């Protein structure tokens, strides 16, 4: 856990000078469970509200059997393996489609809170700012009658409530501004009401309502009619809303009408019957409503103190890490700054904002006791969201948590680890029933109900569905948590996740004709290649990503089993035997790191996934020192992928270039990620001309004007991956030397555009903390490290610098300035 020391950064404001016209223009606020997108309207404000427990379906509702009858899964798998051995790839793909089951559940929106106040509509001086340091979205403006208004919106973690606070400059009684006319507060939902909005018990101004989530939502990419159905079990969700104002308030026409108020506060709480701890629904509608009302009453008990409690809680997390690139902050809104930056105008502070935005979204979207962040964090307006806004575990869910440990937010890692405990239990049934294997397995998609089968109902592409390595990849988060925190108890608590993934892997590996171990069938997530006749294929034998993830997991089992208290000698002997027979990565004839077991043509050379670079990042085995030939091949692979991709892929490539110590590549990826994708902004960039000295990317992905990552559409993983990538460029501490001494590499991939700067508070592997790092003209001038336990480290200060061994006494900061 981090220290509760706040280094508040006054410059961490995301600013826009117009209300949101579309959902991605809005600013997100949240407390891990309850999230809202604040549109910043004046005469009409919209808060689009999510509760992270609102999903389609129910436990077990999506656990459909594979389509393998009458032979059964074992026979179908054997047939697929025989087809691959015979070179019949299309036949193998037909077989593996028969192992597919249904689809994961879909995340769901809850309600919209609508505030109508015509007299307060903006006339001039409009500005809205999301303060990343405080977690408050503030809108200020002047109405047509000259009244100055301010609106603050926050979601408090200590109080479990959303608060909208709107007031005039006369709200304290000292001014002369007139009241704001008549305001109306209403609640709408995209779901049918089980109990429509009704007055609060006791007659206080406010509303309480109950809705049910859909029983089934099919993915949007299927394009089928009747994709959303309420016929069957679903999550029950209640909202309770109170209006506190200095004017007359009454419930009328399904809303709350307020007259003559200079200050109006809207407080909202939610509750559902979804019990996160064990993934069940209790089904008691009265209890759900009572829970929402209880939460509302508790928050109302000290409403005046609520904002202060929120800010103190939020800032205690955000303030642990400080980044300053010694750059001026332009007096301009984000959209104008993004356009100027894309036209070549230097603005390093945009990277600071994007870096801290990833930490902010973690704090706002992932707290102990909540569900893990899904594809859109906890913010989603759609009943049928892109890719069901589920847990896509072939990169995206993992990327969501890349910045958590290095960003000193270890407690925000807990939702993922707790969910993995449940996922591993569910995955045992799938491993046994589908593959006859020990341990646990998960595939491409999952959800809160712990769906673990291959998706597709026999129709989806094997390129994503035929991938039983979700558990293998996710287990690395248990390993990383221990490597960063040194928490042996947490490792032992979550060790079944790692052990079970290894048991499945050992059973999944097959003997190959060359006496190595491999995987069959195998895919490289979502990528495809060309057969000799030009047919596009995705299934093969022993893809590089499979072997890389397998080796990575088994090496960690061998290393950490004694720490976890696992003394299963048979398991460890099997691990050692498998490691001896697993091939490592190979360099293809064109110099790239090979992705497939044979040198086949790429179906899409610029593909967004680069899973075969797994041991570069998030793995730690391939870097220019440990494996220079493979690192050079990985660099050529990235170059061949091209300068553009989806937003989250750009973030991943940023981290990869940083790990390969490529400052130029880091700079290019920062620029590509910060490119605006809103149509009007992209057109403005194009109108400004391009740099003739470098190719112009298509800019498929980048950021919206709100700085949210655009796949497109919006996916939060890119924002979070960007933070991790920037941290990698500033400091790395992944390698252990032959003598067991950890190397701390300062400024391994610093872009030339950031010559001067300071970072404080990043956490490193080995229980280390970078207390401070200051650099000028690209050179380290001061560095301070601290270790939780006594440690000896080798410190490198920049590319090519010699190592300097430093002893770090437990808990004492040590200056390692060159």
Domain boundaries, the chain: 39-55+106-112+129-318, 393-603+607-638, 733-815
CB 324 within 8 A of CB 355: no
CB 743 within 8 A of CB 793: yes
Token couple for 336: 């104008």
> Across the strands, what pairs with 274?
281
Query: pLDDT at position 63, please?
Result: 58
> Across the strands, what pairs with 664?
none
**What's phi and psi for 177, nearest 5 deg?**
-65, 145
**What's phi and psi for 614, nearest 5 deg?**
-55, -40
- Binned average pLDDT, 10 residues per bin, the chain of 818 residues: 44 97 98 98 98 95 69 93 97 96 96 97 97 98 96 98 93 60 97 97 95 96 93 97 95 94 97 96 98 98 98 98 96 98 96 98 98 98 97 98 98 98 97 96 97 93 97 98 97 98 98 97 98 97 98 98 97 98 97 97 96 98 96 98 94 98 97 96 79 58 97 97 98 90 96 98 98 97 96 87 90 91
> Tokens 């949240």, residue?
30
Distance (Å, whole) CA 140 – CA 117:
15
Token couple for 667: 């700079």
CA-angle at 399, arms to 397 and 405, nearest 5°: 110
CA 703 to chain CA centroid, Å, is 15
Q: Which residues are within 8 A (CB) of 159 and not within 5 positions of it... i.e. 6 or more apart?
A: 298, 299, 306, 309, 310
**Under the phi-then-psi rule, with left for phi > 0, alpha for psi from -120 to 50, and beta for the rest, what region is 236?**
beta
> Tokens 């025989």, residue?
82
Over residues 434-446, the pLDDT tens digits come to 999 999 999 999 9
> Across the strands, what pairs with 267?
163, 242
DSSP string, 188-211: E-SS-EEEEEEEPGGG-SEEEEEE
CB 120 within 8 A of CB 128: no
Torsion of CA 594, 596, 601, 603, to 10 degrees: -110
CA 608 to chain CA centroid, Å, is 17
Distance (Å, whole) CA 170 – CA 148:
9
Q: Which residues are within 8 A (CB) of 94 and not within 5 positions of it... i.e. 6 or more apart?
A: none
Distance (Å, whole) CA 798 – CA 80:
50
Signed CA dihedral, 221, 226, 232, 237: sign only = positive
What Å distances lie between residue 209 and 241, 457, 764, CA to CA? Answer: 9, 36, 46
CA-angle at 671, arms to 795 and 801, nearest 5°: 20
Distance (Å, whole) CA 705 – CA 19:
12
Distance (Å, whole) CA 252 – CA 186:
10
Kindly state the helix (H) or strand (E) to which residue 255 belongs, with its residue range.
Answer: strand 255-259
Query: pLDDT at position 740, please?
Result: 85
Query: pLDDT at position 799, please?
Result: 67
Query: pLDDT at position 66, please?
Result: 76
**What's phi and psi for 410, nearest 5 deg?**
-60, -35
End-to-end CA distance of the chain: 29
Three-state DSSP state, 576: helix
Domain 393-603+607-638 carries which CATH code? 1.50.10.10
Domain 39-55+106-112+129-318 carries which CATH code? 2.70.98.50
CATH fold, domain 733-815, is Immunoglobulin-like (2.60.40)
Query: pLDDT at position 67, please?
Result: 75
- Residue 712, preceding bond cis, omega within 30 degrees? yes
> Across the strands, what pairs with 113?
47, 187
Signed CA dihedral, 547, 548, 551, 553: sign only = negative
> Across the strands, what pairs with 794?
743, 805
């Amino acid at each position: 856990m981090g220290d509760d020391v706040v280094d508040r950064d006054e410059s961490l404001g995301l600013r826009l000078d117009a209300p949101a016209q579309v959902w991605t223009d809005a600013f997100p606020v949240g407390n891990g469970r309850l999230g809202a997108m604040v549109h910043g309207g004046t005469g009409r404000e919209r808060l689009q509200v999510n509760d992270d427990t609102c999903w389609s379906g129910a436990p077990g509702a999506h656990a459909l059997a594979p389509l393998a009858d009458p032979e059964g899964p074992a026979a179908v798998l054997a047939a697929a393996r025989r087809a691959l051995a015979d070179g019949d790839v299309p036949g193998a793909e037909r077989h593996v489609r028969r192992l597919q089951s249904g689809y994961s559940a879909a995340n769901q929106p809850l309600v919209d809170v609508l505030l109508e106040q015509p007299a307060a509509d903006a006339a001039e001086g409009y500005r809205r700012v999301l303060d990343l340091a405080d977690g408050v979205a503030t809108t200020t403006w002047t109405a047509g009658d000259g009244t100055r208004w301010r609106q603050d919106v926050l979601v408090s973690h200590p109080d479990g409530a959303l608060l909208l606070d709107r007031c005039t400059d006369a709200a304290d009684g000292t001014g002369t501004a007139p009241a704001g006319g008549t305001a109306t507060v209403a609640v709408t939902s995209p779901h049918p009401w089980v109990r429509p909005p009704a007055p609060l018990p006791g007659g206080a101004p406010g509303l309480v309502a109950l809705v049910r989530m859909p029983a089934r939502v099919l993915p949007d990419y299927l394009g089928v009619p009747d994709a959303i159905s309420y016929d069957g079990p679903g999550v029950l969700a209640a909202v309770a809303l109170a209006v506190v104002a200095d004017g007359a308030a009454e419930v009328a026409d399904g809303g709350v009408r307020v007259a003559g108020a200079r200050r109006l506060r809207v407080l909202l709480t939610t509750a559902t019957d979804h019990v996160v701890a064990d993934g069940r629904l209790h089904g008691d509608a009265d209890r759900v409503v009572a829970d929402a009302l209880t939460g509302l009453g508790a928050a109302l008990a000290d409403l005046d103190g609520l904002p202060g409690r929120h800010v103190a809680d939020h800032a205690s997390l955000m303030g642990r890490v400080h980044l300053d690139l010694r750059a001026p902050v332009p007096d301009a809104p984000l959209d104008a700054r993004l356009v100027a930056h894309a036209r070549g105008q230097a603005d390093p502070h945009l990277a600071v904002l994007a870096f801290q935005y990833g930490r902010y979204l973690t704090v706002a979207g992932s707290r102990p006791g909540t569900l893990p962040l899904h594809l859109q964090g906890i913010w989603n307006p759609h009943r049928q969201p892109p890719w069901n806004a589920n847990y896509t575990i072939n990169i995206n869910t993992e990327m969501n948590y890349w910045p958590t440990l290095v960003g000193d937010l270890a407690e925000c890692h807990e939702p993922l680890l707790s969910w993995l405990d449940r996922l591993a239990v569910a995955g045992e049934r799938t491993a046994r029933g589908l593959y006859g294997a020990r341990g646990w397995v998960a595939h491409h998609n999952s959800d809160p109900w712990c769906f673990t089968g291959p998706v597709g109902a026999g129709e989806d592409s094997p390129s994503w569905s035929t991938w039983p390595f979700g558990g293998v990849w996710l287990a690395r988060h248990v390993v990383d948590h221990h490597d960063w925190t040194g928490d042996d108890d947490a490792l032992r608590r979550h060790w079944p996740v790692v052990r079970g993934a290894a048991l499945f892997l050992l059973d999944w590996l097959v003997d190959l004709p060359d006496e190595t171990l491999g995987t069959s069938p195998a895919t490289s997530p979502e990528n495809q290649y060309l057969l000799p006749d030009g047919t596009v294929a995705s299934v093969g034998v022993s893809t590089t990503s499979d072997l890389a993830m397998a080796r990575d997991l088994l090496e960690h089992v061998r290393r950490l089993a004694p720490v976890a208290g696992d003394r299963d000698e048979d398991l460890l002997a099997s691990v050692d035997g498998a490691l001896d027979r697993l091939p490592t990565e190979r360099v293809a004839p064109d110099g790239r790191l090979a992705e497939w077991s044979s040198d086949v043509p790429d179906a899409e050379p610029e593909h967004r996934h680069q899973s075969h670079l797994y041991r570069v990042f998030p793995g730690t085995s391939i870097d220019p020192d440990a494996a220079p030939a493979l690192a050079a091949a990985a660099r050529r692979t990235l170059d061949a992928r091209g300068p553009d991709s989806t937003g989250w892929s750009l973030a991943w490539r940023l981290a990869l270039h940083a790990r390969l110590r490529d400052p130029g590549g880091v700079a290019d990826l920062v620029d590509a990620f910060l490119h605006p994708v809103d149509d009007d902004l992209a057109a403005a960039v194009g109108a400004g001309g391009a740099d003739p000295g470098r190719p112009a990317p298509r800019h498929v992905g980048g950021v919206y004007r709100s700085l949210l990552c655009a796949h497109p559409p919006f996916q939060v993983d890119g924002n979070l991956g960007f933070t991790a990538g920037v941290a990698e460029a500033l400091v790395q501490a992944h390698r252990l030397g032959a003598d067991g001494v950890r190397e701390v590499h300062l400024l391994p991939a610093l872009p030339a555009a950031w010559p001067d700067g300071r970072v404080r508070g990043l956490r490193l592997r080995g229980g280390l903390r970078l207390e401070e790092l200051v650099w000028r003209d690209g050179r380290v001038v001061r560095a301070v490290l601290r270790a939780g336990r006594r440690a000896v480290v080798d410190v490198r200060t920049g590319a090519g610098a010699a190592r300097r061994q430093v002893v770090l006494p437990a808990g004492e900061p040590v200056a390692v300035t060159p």
